[in-house]
Chain A
Amino acid sequence: MPADKVIVTNVSALKAKYGKTYPRVQAAISRLVVADRKRGLTTRLLALDSAADMRSVKGVAVSEGLDQRQVKAAIDAVHTALQPEYLMILGAPDVVPMQELSNPMRGDGDDVVPSDLPYACAAPHGRNPRGFLGPTRVVGRLPDLLGKGDAGYLVRLLSTAARYRSRARSDYQEYFGISAEKWKGSTGLSLTKLFGASAAMETIPPKGPKWRDAELERRLHFINCHGGASDPDFYGEPARREAFPTAHSAKLLKRKIANGTVIAAECCYGAELYDPSDSGGQAGICSTYLYDGAYGFFGSTTIAYGPSEGNGQADLICQYFIEAVLGGASLGRAALEARQRFAAAYTHLDPADLKTMAQFYLLGDPSVHPVGAVSHALARTKAFSAAFKGAKSSPGTRALRRERLVRTGTNLQQTLGAVERARRNEPAAVKRLLAAAARESGLQEIARESYAVEFPKGVQKGELKIFEKARRSRSVHVLLGERAKGKGKARAVTALIATVQDGELVHLRRVHQR
Chain B
Amino acid sequence: MKAMKLTLHIWRQKNAAQPGKMVPYTVEANEHMSFLEMLDVLNETLIEKGEEPVAFDHDCREGICGSCGFVINGIAHGPRPSTTVCQLHMRTFKDGDELYLEPWRAKAFPVVRDLVVDRSAFDRIIAAGGFVSVSTGSAPDGNAIPIPKKFADLAMDAAACIGCGACVAACPNAAAALFTGAKVSHLSLLPQGQPERTQRVLNMVGQVKQEMFGSCTNIGECEAVCPKEIKLEVIARMNRDYLRASWTDRGEAVRDDGI
Decide whether A and B are members of one complex. Answer: no
Using a CB–CB distance below 8 Å, which chain B residues touch chain A? none
